[in-house]
């Protein structure tokens, strides 16, 4: 192995599942043979490294070394989505620690070649002022679909509409209601993003996150206004805090209201009975069947389509109000005059 710390040092970051690591390893071997005075480090899980090395007819070029990265997968686990989730839980820390050891030996990494699934490889390279090459191991059409996702959505729309769920900053439904909501989400088959505080995750049904992996995500905090503005969001399950109501309207997203106290109950009533841009559960716990039914109504029926159209109209009205000459602007001008008189102008 090249040991001088002044030589270029290329780090390969492998995604250790399926056949992802294999083409990356072939590339590493070909490059190492072609550039004998460059150091090449291959970071991969111990299991994947061992299987790659076993199938190797001859040894490795002397300037290429494999490094085992902890994958956080207990021995005997054999369920790919579970393995990937466990691995991602300790990523990128596991790579960074192992890379630090390799850099101690071969010097700072000057180029990062990462499996394109490892999104953080770009940051790892940028932090070092290194170049970054991403290897896409799938077919080119699927890569194009990723690169042009927004264009495709804008052109064709989104068939299966990511419900967004959040109860704001102060509300926490009871453990029983959280369990029922999760069961309803699971049974509905609807894609979802759920902003749920970490301390409440323990109330989700056992194995829920694994069973909904690929169509459902639970996060402790979400960039709500951006999420609501995304074309894939077809409904917002909310406690009806006023900010959430306004944000949903600004994005034309119909609401599923589960108010808890104070203004939330009247907000929910206004949403469902006055504006008709959503449905409301008033002062009662949501059960699994409620969840399935209401998601179906809002996302998949004519009734839901009408709510969505009305929400869209309200969005136009709301946006109009914040343009020059709009009501919100006029009201703000009035407020300025009340507070500072004509001294401000």
Alpha helices in 46-137 (DSSP H): 46-54, 80-89, 93-106, 121-128
- Range 228-257, binding ligand U2F (CB under 6 A): 241-244, 247
If binding is defined by CB under 6 A, does position 264 make contact with ligand U2F? Answer: yes
| Contact with ligand U2F (CB under 6 A) among 44, 161, 195, 308 | 195
- Range 147-166, binding ligand U2F (CB under 6 A): 166
Q: Which of 110, 155, 163 has the alpha carbon at shortest distance from 133?
A: 110
Establish whether 230 is a catalytic residue: no
The sheet that has 39-45: what strands, in order across it? Answer: 64-69, 39-45, 9-13, 111-115, 131-135
- The phi and psi torsions of 216 (rounded to 5 degrees) equal -140, 140
Query: What residue has token string 């709009």?
Result: 326
Q: Could you tell me the two tokens for 288?
A: 């699994």
If binding is defined by CB under 6 A, does position 199 make contact with ligand U2F? Answer: no
Q: Among 20, 71, 239, 290, which one carries the catalytic annotation?
A: 20
How many amino acids of this chain bind ligand U2F (CB under 6 A)?
Answer: 18
CB of 263 to ligand U2F, least distance (A): 5
Query: What residue has token string 């209401």?
Result: 294
Q: Between the CA atoms of 10, 11, 17 and 22, what dihedral angle is there, to the nearest 10 degrees? A: 20
Residue among 107 and 229 whose Cβ is closer to ligand U2F: 229
Residue among 17 and 167 whose Cβ is closer to ligand U2F: 167
If binding is defined by CB under 6 A, does position 270 make contact with ligand U2F? Answer: no
Q: Which of 275, 238, 232 has the alpha carbon at shortest distance from 255?
A: 238
Establish whether 34 is a catalytic residue: no
CB of 223 to ligand U2F, least distance (A): 6
Q: Which residues contact ligand U2F (rule: CB under 6 A)?
A: 166, 168-171, 195, 221-222, 224-225, 241-244, 247, 262-264
What are the catalytic residues?
20, 115
């Amino acid at each position: 192995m090249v040991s001088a710390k002044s030589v270029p040092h290329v780090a390969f970051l492998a995604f250790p599942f399926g056949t992802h690591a294999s083409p990356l390893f072939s590339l590493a071997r070909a490059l190492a043979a072609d550039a004998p005075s460059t150091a090449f480090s291959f970071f991969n899980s111990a299991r994947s490294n061992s299987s790659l090395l076993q199938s190797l007819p001859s040894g490795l070029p002397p300037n290429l070394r494999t490094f085992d990265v902890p994958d956080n997968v207990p021995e005997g686990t054999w369920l790919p989505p579970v393995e990937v989730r466990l691995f991602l839980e300790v990523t990128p820390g596991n790579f960074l620690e192992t890379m630090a050891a390799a850099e101690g030996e071969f010097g700072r990494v000057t180029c990062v070649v990462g499996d394109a699934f490892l999104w953080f490889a770009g940051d790892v390279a940028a932090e070092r002022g290194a170049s970054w090459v991403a290897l896409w191991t799938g077919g080119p059409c699927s890569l194009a679909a990723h690169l042009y996702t927004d264009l495709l959505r804008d052109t064709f729309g989104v068939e299966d509409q990511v419900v967004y769920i959040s109860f704001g900053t102060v509300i926490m439904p009871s453990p029983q209601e959280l369990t029922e909501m999760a069961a309803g989400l699971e049974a509905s088959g609807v894609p979802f993003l759920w902003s749920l505080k970490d301390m409440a995750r323990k109330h989700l049904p056992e194995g829920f996150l694994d069973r909904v992996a690929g169509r459902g995500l639970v996060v402790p905090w979400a960039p709500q206004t951006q999420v609501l503005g995304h074309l894939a969001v077809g409904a917002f399950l909310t406690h009806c805090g006023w900010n959430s109501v306004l944000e949903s309207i600004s994005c034309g997203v119909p609401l599923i209201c589960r108010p808890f106290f104070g203004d939330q109950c009247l907000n929910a009533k206004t949403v469902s009975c006055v504006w008709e841009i959503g449905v409301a559960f008033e002062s009662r716990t949501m059960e699994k069947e409620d969840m399935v039914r209401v998601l179906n109504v809002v996302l998949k029926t004519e009734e839901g389509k009408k709510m969505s159209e009305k929400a869209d109209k309200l969005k136009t009205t709301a946006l109009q109000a914040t343009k020059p000459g709009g009501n919100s602007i006029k009201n703000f001008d009035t407020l300025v005059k009340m507070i500072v008189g004509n001294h401000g102008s």
